[in-house]
């Protein structure tokens, strides 16, 4: 939301610090440095060439020549500079890991330059490793260079979602800034300077200190936003507005703050008031502010539940991103394969995959799983280590392959769920009932399951990847705490509550976060919630594919999770029962279908998932409960009715028809007539046919509802013919929607 703050501008360092340097060499080095600062790179190179002839052993001269040539090219030869720095480092050290502290201090500029290049090439881990090494030897460095190291590390920590470390470094930076200011103000001005020069230098120094303070306030706001610490963020927002005024970065940060508080209209108003036209282009800052603007609007409207409008804004952001990439000379829709020809600062401007990620999540919410699948498949090529993303891909496949019973409108359920076709006319007219065995047959038998198409086979692979990316299950939490307030549910991240300790970033020592770029890292509780969602989806997919043993395995693992929401527990029992029935273990299935197993069907804490590209905004729909499909039980009573419907089906398989009829009528009395699923209607028809009540079975089909008592039908064309039933077995247990109905998308 705020502009990048790492100090990566001047990487040039003059060579006067080398030991044993002569006056002539010192003069050449000074002249080269002054020419470099003035932008006369050709002249600077001439001085450096002369200096290298006098001192061929000094690697700093070679480094400075490489940096000068880099600036001369307009900072477009990043790969060449990177290779030169690697060569220099290898010449000095045969084993890089054996570098001692003194060498680290001596070669600090070389190491810092390498960290800067890694930063711009999105190699954040390597950059952090070098930066933290330099941070250990901060004392010997001059103040300006020490600040540059700290600012670079702060930026890296925020990009990798480590706000606590960033805040610690900002505290160190504040001490450095105060120390620097006191030392400068305490010393007298140089005796060789005039009063006029002294005042101008003092004004320049004061402006530099104020700029550093303003930058630190912005970084603090970004850190507190990541930690969801709204009280601390509110205090820092005031400081940002006082130091930066109504600049684009400050307004973007304040808009993000209001977004986290749920003040969406105010967040939109703040975004619209930012004058993004005045912001420098991506060639200078490496940021496309217009792209950020549209993306943030998309995130806000996503949270408001206006998904079509949110998708419109995400598409606008994608168009802006592609336009910027075209300006940078990248003709492959932002997929930069070469770093030559693009200014180094602009290498970070491409946000295509983050935006595709957001678009995919939005499309999944709208109900366009195939379009969402295409977007997320492109994003997973970059973010392949994100378990959330693999789960979202599986949800796309599930949504694309599920039946149409969930899409029925108000009124009586559609007969399409019961009557498949009508054959013949008059006396020979027959009704063909629907069979549940022909579902999920979209996948082509001649293809490999690993081919990325929206099939249930590919969903199984995605879910397997998601499980493998999660850490091993920790068993030290002995007590389930289903009712406690957690940061997330069903694989979603924390809500914006500032009262939650887990959400405030206060983590225990050793509490490791699991990276999930471009989303925020997964905390411990989020990992467990995500594991439950993946297991529920895995059981559903295995049932759809006919792999009943695997479905039972996943369902039992789901039911053994320590912290399991009521909704997923309900699904776990249903999936386990269906798998057991298919394995002819009816008694075990009946135990799972006990209505007393259902005590809660809530979706848990309001589902909110932090799916965002980079630091531009969080996809956090606080009203995601509105996304619950009509077929999902809305209360414990309706959930128990579903269990009874399935229990009746199980009793049918044991030919206990009276028990089945009691279960069916008891369940029908617990729910509204309009909420009775088509499968239950078929079950009622089957029971009446087994009992010889052909006329009652016909009435159930004609009225599309269960009837406890009815007069004999007077239909002349169906009176003397029994109804053909496609299967010799009673209807299978009802397949209720899996966890993909509860998660927002991702």
Q: Average model confidence (pLDDT) for the chain?
A: 75
The average pLDDT across 530-546 equals 93
C-beta of residue 398 within 8 angstroms of C-beta of residue 440: no
The average pLDDT across 197-202 equals 63
HSE-CB for 461 with a 13 A CA cutoff: 11
Across 168-182, 184-198, 569-583, 594-608, the highest mean pLDDT is recorded for 569-583
> Cα 716 from chain centroid?
61
The pLDDT value given to residue 313: 94
Is the pLDDT at 536 greater than 90, yes or no? yes
User: What CA–CA distance (Å, rounded) separates 276 from 320?
Assistant: 13
pLDDT in tens, 17-56: 445 567 777 888 888 888 888 888 888 888 888 888 887 7
* Alpha helix stretches (DSSP H) within 625-730: 636-653, 657-670, 678-690, 694-703
Across 84-88, 456-460, 634-638, 715-719, the highest mean pLDDT is recorded for 456-460
* Alpha helix stretches (DSSP H) within 93-123: 101-106, 108-120
Is the pLDDT at 390 greater than 70, yes or no? yes
The pLDDT value given to residue 555: 95
CA distance to 28, 126, 181, 452, per residue, from 458 (Å): 65, 34, 61, 6
C-beta of residue 363 within 8 angstroms of C-beta of residue 377: no
Q: By three-state DSSP, how is residue 516 classified? A: coil
The average pLDDT across 673-680 equals 80
Confidence band, pLDDT 50/70/90 cuts, at residue 464: very high
Is the pLDDT at 480 greater than 60, yes or no? no
Confidence band, pLDDT 50/70/90 cuts, at residue 255: very high
Across 93-97, 188-192, 498-502, 588-592, the highest mean pLDDT is recorded for 588-592
Is the pLDDT at 345 greater than 70, yes or no? yes
Instruction: Tell me which of 188-202, 459-473, 494-508, 616-630 is least confident.
Output: 494-508
The pLDDT value given to residue 295: 93
Across 71-75, 129-133, 179-183, 705-709, the highest mean pLDDT is recorded for 129-133
User: What CA–CA distance (Å, rounded) separates 370 from 393?
Assistant: 10
Angle between helices 264-273 and 289-303 (to 10 degrees): 160
**What's the full length of the chain, in residues?**
746
C-beta of residue 572 within 8 angstroms of C-beta of residue 558: yes
The pLDDT value given to residue 20: 55
The pLDDT value given to residue 693: 84
For 209, phi and psi rounded to 5 degrees? -65, -45
C-beta of residue 706 within 8 angstroms of C-beta of residue 665: yes
Is the pLDDT at 96 greater than 70, yes or no? no
Instruction: Tell me which of 88-97, 143-152, 534-543 is least confident.
Output: 88-97
Is the pLDDT at 615 greater than 50, yes or no? no
The average pLDDT across 417-441 equals 69
The average pLDDT across 222-251 equals 88
Higher pLDDT, 316 or 604: 316
Contacting residues for 529 by C-beta, under 8 A, at least 6 apart: 486, 488, 489, 490, 491, 492, 563, 565, 604
User: What CA–CA distance (Å, rounded) separates 620 from 605?
Assistant: 13
User: What CA–CA distance (Å, rounded) separates 120 from 192?
Assistant: 41
Across 469-473, 494-498, 703-707, the highest mean pLDDT is recorded for 469-473
User: In terms of Cα–Cα distance, which of 681, 362, 676, 619 is closest to 494?
Assistant: 619
Instruction: Tell me which of 110-124, 478-492, 579-593 is least confident.
Output: 478-492
The average pLDDT across 449-463 equals 89
Higher pLDDT, 115 or 193: 115
The pLDDT value given to residue 181: 59
Confidence band, pLDDT 50/70/90 cuts, at residue 225: very high
Confidence band, pLDDT 50/70/90 cuts, at residue 411: very low
Confidence band, pLDDT 50/70/90 cuts, at residue 413: very low
Contacting residues for 733 by C-beta, under 8 A, at least 6 apart: 574, 577, 578, 581, 589, 593, 646, 649, 650
What DSSP state is assigned to residue 730?
A: P
Instruction: Tell me which of 167-171, 497-501, 584-588, 698-702 is least confident.
Output: 497-501
Higher pLDDT, 132 or 487: 132
Higher pLDDT, 521 or 591: 591
The pLDDT value given to residue 415: 56
User: What CA–CA distance (Å, rounded) separates 283 from 76?
Assistant: 11
The pLDDT value given to residue 553: 95
Higher pLDDT, 216 or 627: 216
**Tokens, residue 697:** 């079975």
User: What CA–CA distance (Å, rounded) separates 271 from 252?
Assistant: 6
The pLDDT value given to residue 438: 42
Strand partners, 430: 423
Higher pLDDT, 186 or 310: 310
**Tokens, residue 710:** 């009815």
User: What CA–CA distance (Å, rounded) separates 224 from 257?
Assistant: 9
User: What CA–CA distance (Å, rounded) separates 10 from 423?
Assistant: 82
Q: By three-state DSSP, how is residue 306 classified? A: coil
User: What CA–CA distance (Å, rounded) separates 399 from 616?
Assistant: 28
The average pLDDT across 636-644 equals 89
The pLDDT value given to residue 446: 58
- What percentage of the chain exceeds 90 in pLDDT? 30
pLDDT in tens, 126-179: 999 999 988 888 877 888 888 889 999 999 999 999 999 999 999 988 887 766
User: What CA–CA distance (Å, rounded) separates 644 from 238?
Assistant: 58
Q: By three-state DSSP, how is residue 35 classified? A: helix
> How many CB atoms are closer than 10 A to CB 118?
20
């Amino acid at each position: 939301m705020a502009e990048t703050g790492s100090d990566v501008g001047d990487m040039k360092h003059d060579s006067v610090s080398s030991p044993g340097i002569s006056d002539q060499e010192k003069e050449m080095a000074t002249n080269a440095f002054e020419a470099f600062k003035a932008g006369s790179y050709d002249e600077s190179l001439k001085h450096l060439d002369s200096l290298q002839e006098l001192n061929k052993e000094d690697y700093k001269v070679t480094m400075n020549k490489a940096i000068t040539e880099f600036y001369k090219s307009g900072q477009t030869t990043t790969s060449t500079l990177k290779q030169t720095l690697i060569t220099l480092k290898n010449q000095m050290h045969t084993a890089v890991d054996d570098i001692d502290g003194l060498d680290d201090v001596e070669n600090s500029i070389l190491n810092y330059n390498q960290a800067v290049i890694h930063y711009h090439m999105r190699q954040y881990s390597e950059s952090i490793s070098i930066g933290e090494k330099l941070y250990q030897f901060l004392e010997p460095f001059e103040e300006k260079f020490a600040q540059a190291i700290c600012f670079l590390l702060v930026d890296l920590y925020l990009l990798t979602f480590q706000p606590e470390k960033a805040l610690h470094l900002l505290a160190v930076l504040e001490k450095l800034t105060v120390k620097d200011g006191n030392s400068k103000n305490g010393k007298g001005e140089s005796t060789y300077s005039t009063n006029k020069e002294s005042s101008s230098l003092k004004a320049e120094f004061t402006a530099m200190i104020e700029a550093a303070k303003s930058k630190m306030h912005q970084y603090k706001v970004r850190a507190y936003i990541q930690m969801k610490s709204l009280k601390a963020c509110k205090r820092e927002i005031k400081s940002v507005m006082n130091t930066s005024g109504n600049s684009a970065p400050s307004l973007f940060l304040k808009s993000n703050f209001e977004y986290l508080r749920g003040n969406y209209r105010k967040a939109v108003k703040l975004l619209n008031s930012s004058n993004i036209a005045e912001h420098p282009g991506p060639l200078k800052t490496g940021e496309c502010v217009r792209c950020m603007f549209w993306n943030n609007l998309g995130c806000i409207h996503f949270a408001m539940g206006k998904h079509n409008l949110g998708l419109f804004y995400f598409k606008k952001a994608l168009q802006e991103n592609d336009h910027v990439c075209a300006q940078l000379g990248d003709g492959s829709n932002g997929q930069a394969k070469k770093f030559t020809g693009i200014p180094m600062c602009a290498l970070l401007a491409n946000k295509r995959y983050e935006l595709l990620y957001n678009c995919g999540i939005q499309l999944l919410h709208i109900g366009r799983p195939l379009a969402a699948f295409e977007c997320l498949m492109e994003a997973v090529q970059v973010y392949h280590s994100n378990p959330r993303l693999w789960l979202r891909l599986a949800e796309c496949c599930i949504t694309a392959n599920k039946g149409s019973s969930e899409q029925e409108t108000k009124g009586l359920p559609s007969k399409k769920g019961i009557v498949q076709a009508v054959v013949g006319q008059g006396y020979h007219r027959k009704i063909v009932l629907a069979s549940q065995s022909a579902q999920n047959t979209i996948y082509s038998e001649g293809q490999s399951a690993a081919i990325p198409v929206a099939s249930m086979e590919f969903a199984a692979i995605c879910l397997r990847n998601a499980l493998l990316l999660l850490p091993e299950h920790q068993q030290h939490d002995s007590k389930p705490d289903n009712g406690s307030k957690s940061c997330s549910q069903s694989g979603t991240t924390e809500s914006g509550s500032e009262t939650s300790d887990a959400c405030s970033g206060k983590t225990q020592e050793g509490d490791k976060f699991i990276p999930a770029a471009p989303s925020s890292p997964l905390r411990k509780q989020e990992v467990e919630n995500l594991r439950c969602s993946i297991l529920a989806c895995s059981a559903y997919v295995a049932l759809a594919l006919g792999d009943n043993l695997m479905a039972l395995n996943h369902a039992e693992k789901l039911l053994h999770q320590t912290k399991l929401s009521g909704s997923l527990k309900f699904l776990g029992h249903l999936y386990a029962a269906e798998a057991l029935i298919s394995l002819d273990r009816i008694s075990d299935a009946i135990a799972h279908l006990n209505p007393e197993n259902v005590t809660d069907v809530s979706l848990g804490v309001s589902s909110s998932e932090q799916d965002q590209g980079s630091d531009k905004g969080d996809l956090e729909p606080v009203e995601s409960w509105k996304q619950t499909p009509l077929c999902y039980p809305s209360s414990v009573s309706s959930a128990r009715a579903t269990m009874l419907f399935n229990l009746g089906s199980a009793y049918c398989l044991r030919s206990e028809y009276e028990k089945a009829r009691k279960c069916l009528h008891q369940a029908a009395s617990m729910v509204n007539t309009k909420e009775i699923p088509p499968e239950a209607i078929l079950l009622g028809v089957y029971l009446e046919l087994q009992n010889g009540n052909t006329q009652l079975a016909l009435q159930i089909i004609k009225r599309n509802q269960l009837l406890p008592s009815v007069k004999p039908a007077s239909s002349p064309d169906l009176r003397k013919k029994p109804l053909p039933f496609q299967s010799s077995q009673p209807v299978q247990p009802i397949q209720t929607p899996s966890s993909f109905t509860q998660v927002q998308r991702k």
